[in-house]
Amino acid sequence: QVVELKPGGGALPVTEENKAEYVDLVCRWRLFGAVGAPVEALLRGLHAAVPAPILRELSALALMLAGEPHIDLADWRRHCITAGGLSRRSRRFRWFWRVVRSYSQQERQQLLQFVTGSRQPPVGGFAQLQGFNGGVHKFTLCAASHEPKDSLPRVHACICTLDLPEYSSCGAMRRALHIALSMGAVGF
């Protein structure tokens, strides 16, 4: 299926000059446009089957749909796994959790969304974290030793994985994560 991301966009080549706009439009489509019709159909069916006063009282339903309202840092760390040669005893692992401990709840939500696509943990906590394919995927920190030192981290949101390059200091990691989260919030 071909989708025009903007009027006349199908006839426009992607160039260095419009690449940022193209990426922004693709991300907006994948996050919002592609799921708009199914979500609207789901809401129509839900409102047809369940009276509005009952919906307002079903906070458990909201919890199931939106996830836990608070991020439990201990639960997050406990259910985090490592890959790519990274270990729980490694400096990168310890620095990462030191940075996350220093974050506000909103910054933690940004980080979680950056890595998993969701701002909130699922019902049942991080043990029930799901990737985009619907399967359970533990939050994973992976060594990205092939990346240049102090470079930005990468994510694989479909499998809840954050690739962490080597950092010269905890402060360098903090800056790289801050830039990645800031750019993600602005660009998407």
Distance CA 188, CA 182 (A): 10
Cβ atoms of residues 167 and 95 within 8 Å: yes
Q: What is the spatial distance between Cα 155 and Cα 162, in angstroms, rounded to a whole number?
A: 5
Residue 158 annotated among the catalytic residues of the structure: yes
CA nearest 68: which of 116, 100, 33?
116
Distance, CA of 116 to chain centre: 3
Sheet order of strands, 161-164 included: 81-83, 140-143, 161-164, 154-156
The count of residues in the chain is 188
Give the β-pairing of 140-143 and 161-164: parallel
- Distance from C-alpha of 182 to C-alpha of 178, rounded to nearest angstrom: 6
Tell me whether residue 65 is exposed, middle or buried, using C-beta atoms within 10 angstroms of its C-beta: 0 to 12, 13 to 18, 19 or more: exposed
Q: Which of 27, 142, 158, 170 is catalytic?
A: 158
Instruction: State the catalytic residues.
Output: 158
